[in-house]
Amino acid sequence: MLTKRIISCLDIKDGRVVKGTKFLNLKDAGDPVELAKYYNKEGADELCFLDITASHEERKTIISIVEAVANEIFIPFTVGGGISSTKQMKDILRAGADKITINSSAIKNPELITEGAAKFGSQCIVLAIDAKYNGRKKTWEAYIKGGRENTNLDAIEWAKKGVSLGAGEILLTSMDSDGTKNGYDIELTKQVVESVNVPVIASGGAGKIKHIIEVFHETGCDAALLASLLHYKDLTINQIKEKMEEEELPVRLTEV
């Protein structure tokens, strides 16, 4: 059985790591290179770097920071934000990323998923979906531009389409749960996991170890993405992984 992954996430704005609640009220959380080094040492299974204002500001991801982070870590490294061409993908992979995540650009140009998968392999293309519940329609809808724009696309149907186009992984963020520390959106995550045949990363809402255990046990997701919980030292990766082992979840324990 594949091990369940703990992924540290660096949301980047103006060259700094930030964290907010429901994509709003962003606060400084530190230097990306220093935090990356720390998470690499602490035993994160992967690192995810998201330039969260690049699409909204219609600019490219900050390559210099990607390179600086890549030089300091020895774990898989995923980068996203403002990537809208295979040339940009190539530049970011050359800067040291292992995987590319796309969101806004994939919705505007779904063929980008197929082109990226053909050039770099499906395992390299992560489709990021920022989903928010619509109580009237009783479904989740996909948002773009850092959560600023509703596409009115059904998030679960879009996940299925993205995988059919070549995405090798889904990074699923619940906008309703993001930064609340009240737990992941179990129902949303479960529905996406059951709808696709690629790994799903659950994101948004972790506040306690029990939330991480719960999302793995109840949804079958492959990885849990964590940000503020780790940035502010509420928990260590080691504490999380020891609890995962207790709960008989397959996990790569941190070597001390």
Sketch the domain layout of the chain as residue ranges. Answer: 5-246
Pairing of strands 223-226, 99-102: unpaired
Round to the nearest angstrom and report the end-to-end CA distance of the chain: 24
What pLDDT was estimated at residue 224? 98
Confidence of residue 194 (pLDDT cuts 50, 70, 90): very high
Residues 139-190 pLDDT 10s = 999 999 878 899 999 999 999 999 999 999 999 999 999 878 899 999 999 9
Residues 64-87 pLDDT 10s = 899 999 999 999 999 998 899 999
Active site residues: 11, 130
- The CATH number of domain 5-246, selected from 3.10.20.30, 2.40.50.100, 3.40.50.20, 3.20.20.70: 3.20.20.70
Residue 256 has pLDDT above 60, yes or no: no
φ, ψ at 57 (rounded to 5°) = -85, 0
Beta carbons within 8 Å of 213's beta carbon, 6+ residues apart: 243, 244, 247, 249
How far apart are the C-alpha atoms of 167 and 191, rounded to whole Å?
17
How far apart are the C-alpha atoms of 226 and 163, rounded to whole Å?
24
Q: Are 28 and 19 in contact (CB under 8 A)?
A: no
Return the percent helix, strand and coil in the chain, to nearest 5. 35, 30, 35
How far apart are the C-alpha atoms of 256 and 253, rounded to whole Å?
9
pTM flag (> 0.85): yes
Using CA atoms of 82, 237, 19, 129 in order, give the dihedral in degrees to the nearest 10: 40
Confidence of residue 37 (pLDDT cuts 50, 70, 90): very high
What pLDDT was estimated at residue 145? 83
What pLDDT was estimated at residue 17? 79
